[in-house]
């Protein structure tokens, strides 16, 4: 009898009323992503990069497009296996196909662009960023704009479904929303530490924005606003502003720009995310999500 009780006590650590406990499901998901990163994603990107003649060592739209496309396939594969085990649909974790690229997505795009424009205006007004004219014209402008836009939509889809899809929702079911949001956002921000020139300002802003995006999922019931915001923000900083990221300057951006002001204002080698102007922008994003995304659940109309 004692042995049976002990076995049940040990089993209860792993299994609950709904099967394998949420924490273990989360850890298995993370392990599967890590193994896929090593044995699938990195070899595939390296192979395709060589075959297509894409320089993976530069911050360019083609390299970003390739990396995020392969990354998204991996996330969909691992999430699909998890969904199969849970007897759910692949799009049940925040990316319902029925709402794909709908009104919420475009609201997120607009909000992300407003943030970038605010930060760029602050940098120009304080002399931390100087614009010297267009770097692209004609067909080259259209080509790079579309390529950067496509690449950054993939960034939004890949990173949001990776961190705020199954990972957020399985922890949410097991531990509650805020513990799940803090854990997944801490991982999201922590992975940026390895970037060259990383500093506390950049990590802090990324953490605040990560929590804000988690809150948008709670408010809307989907990731589509978050995908739009993420895509527009990165499109704005890489193509429109052309700021550095991890010490690299984006290839094929819209304006000829220089950043001669203090790093506190323009972010230095880290770019937009490390600018002091991102602090009020991040706070404003939080307020917007709290006050203006209320009631936009999946059962309500997609546009209001």
Span 44-71, average pLDDT: 96
Residue 233 lies in a domain: yes
Residue 37 lies in a domain: yes
In degrees and rounded to multiples of 5, residue 256 shows phi and psi of: -85, 115
pLDDT at 304: 44
Residue 302 lies in a domain: no
pLDDT at 301: 39
Q: What percent of the chain has pLDDT over 90?
A: 79
Span 22-36, average pLDDT: 94
How many folded domains does the chain comprise? 1
pLDDT at 41: 96
Q: What is the DSSP letter of 180?
A: H
Are 242 and 121 contacting, i.e. CB atoms less than 8 angstroms apart? no
pLDDT at 193: 82
Which of 13-27, 174-188, 245-259, 279-293 shows the lowest per-residue confidence on average (mean pLDDT)? Answer: 13-27
pLDDT interval class at 197 (50, 70, 90): confident
Residue 181 lies in a domain: yes
Dist. CA 189–CA 169, nearest whole Å: 18
pLDDT at 19 over 50: yes
Residue 299 lies in a domain: no
Mean pLDDT of all residues belonging to the chain: 91
Residue 116 lies in a domain: yes
Higher pLDDT, 271 or 116: 116
Higher pLDDT, 177 or 11: 177
CB-CB neighbours of 1 under 10 Å? 5
Span 150-159, average pLDDT: 98
pLDDT at 8: 56
Higher pLDDT, 52 or 18: 52
pLDDT interval class at 1 (50, 70, 90): low
Residue 156 lies in a domain: yes
pLDDT at 21: 87
Residue 300 lies in a domain: no
Domain that holds residue 268: 2-292
Dist. CA 185–CA 183, nearest whole Å: 5
Q: Which pair of structure tokens corresponds to residue 134?
A: 């267009």
Span 24-38, average pLDDT: 96
pLDDT tens column, 267-293: 999 889 899 999 999 999 999 999 888
pLDDT tens column, 208-243: 999 999 999 999 999 999 999 999 999 999 999 999
């Amino acid at each position: 009898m004692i042995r049976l009780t002990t076995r049940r006590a040990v089993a209860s650590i792993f299994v609950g009323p709904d099967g394998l406990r949420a924490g273990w499901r989360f850890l298995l998901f993370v392990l599967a992503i890590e193994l896929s990163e090593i044995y699938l994603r990195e070899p595939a990107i390296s192979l395709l990069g060589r075959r297509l003649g894409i320089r993976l060592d530069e911050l360019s739209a083609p390299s970003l497009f390739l990396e995020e496309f392969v990354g998204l396939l991996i996330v969909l594969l691992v999430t699909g296996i998890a969904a199969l085990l849970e007897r759910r649909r692949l799009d049940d974790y925040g990316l319902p196909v029925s709402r794909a690229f709908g009104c919420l997505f475009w609201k997120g795009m607009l909000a992300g662009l407003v943030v970038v424009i605010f930060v760029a205006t602050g940098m120009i007004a304080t002399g931390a960023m100087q614009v010297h004219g267009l770097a692209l014209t004609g067909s080259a402008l259209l080509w790079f704009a579309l390529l950067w836009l496509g690449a950054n939509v993939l960034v939004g889809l890949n990173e949001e479904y990776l961190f705020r899809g199954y990972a957020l929702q399985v922890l949410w079911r097991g531990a509650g929303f805020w513990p799940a949001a803090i854990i997944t956002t801490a991982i999201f921000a922590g992975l940026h530490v390895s970037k060259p020139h990383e500093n506390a300002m950049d990590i802090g802003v990324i953490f605040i924005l990560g929590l804000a995006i988690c809150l948008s999922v709670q408010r809307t019931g989907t990731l589509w606003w978050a995908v739009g915001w993420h895509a527009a923000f990165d499109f704005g900083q890489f193509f429109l502003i052309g700021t550095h990221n991890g010490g690299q300057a984006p290839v094929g951006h819209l304006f000829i720009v220089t950043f001669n002001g203090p790093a506190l204002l323009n972010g230095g080698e880290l770019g937009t995310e490390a600018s002091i102007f991102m602090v009020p922008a991040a706070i404003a994003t939080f307020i917007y999500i709290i006050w203006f995304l209320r009631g936009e659940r999946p059962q309500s109309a997609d546009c209001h």
